[in-house]
Amino acid sequence: ASEAASASAPTMADRLTENGCSEDLVDIVEALERAVLRIADNVERAALDNLFGVADSTNTSGDSQKKLDIVANEIMKTELSAAPSVGALASEEDPDIILTGNSGKYCVVFDPLDGSRNIDASIPTGSIFGVFPFQDGAGRRGREMVLSGYSLYSSATIMVITTGSGVDGYARDRVAGGMRLTHKDIKIPERGQIYSVNDARYFDWAEPLRQYIDTVRQGKGETGKKYSARYICSLVGDFHRTLLYGGIAMNPRSHLRLVYEGNPLSFVVEQAGGVGTNGRESILDIEPEELHQRLPLFLGSAEDIREMLSFGDVRQTSQQRYDV
């Protein structure tokens, strides 16, 4: 019975085609699906295949690379380069845009393995991706994206996708094969009761952010409910929970990448009825100044973010690096 039920659920390609998605974009999504399934297999076998630990290298931002960062990056580049509609790639792990040699009209940007510092503890990780029309580069406003989403490697392998007309979620089906539709037309609640942030940095935050957090966790905010903290330190994991349950996932300092993380996730959350902001303006309206530009990121329920911003400028001004 379970096999019949799962086989009847639409695949990603079926769902996108049903929604009028172009053949080129369906091609790209199928390449992303292949990459995600391969990465998921590597994440699952990391302990067995000696893929835990740090590689002897750093990425373009100077961050130490985990072994699985490198594996995931190569998988994404291999699968996407094989899609004829992909003319260029940009990865958080590489310094510059990569031309695929295809005549494709799209550029795919991605963070191949977000949350990789959690790998050795088998805590959820994910991949983040966005698709732009390709002209001279990937330095375009997020509103020009035609597709974005993420995958989550956890108790199940999940993919969440938007093409600008709503948000759908898919789960890996090991019985029928591939990814199958499980969450149709996801809408983030207007309010949540959870905030997700590293509050060990509380004393480095801007005073308005401290005031907001103090207010809602005491139940003195607009809802009168006491908010709870939930924080994995895996952006995809924290964001996915926020998308389904409501609330805010945030990093108030200029740490996360606009192109690879901020834009794709903001496109998803806005399509689900939420908000993505740097604390001053919509993420999707920011003109990138460089490929690896960093910024504060606040993603979540529209009413929670509105209330938070009413306290003032919540962006962290101190930009020290934390070594943990």
Q: Write out the catalytic residue numbers.
A: 63, 69, 92-93, 111, 113-114, 261
118 neighbors 124 (Cβ within 8 angstroms): yes
Strands 106-114 and 86-91, bridge-based pairing: parallel
d(CA 107, CA 186) in angstroms, rounded, equals 26
11 neighbors 182 (Cβ within 8 angstroms): no
- CA 313, chain centre distance (Å): 24
* Residue bearing tokens 């690896």: 292
93 neighbors 59 (Cβ within 8 angstroms): yes
Residue burial 151-164, b: 16+ Cβ < 10 Å; e: rest:
bbbbeebbbbbbbe
d(CA 307, CA 288) in angstroms, rounded, equals 27
Q: What phi, psi does 188 have (nearest 5°)?
A: -75, 140
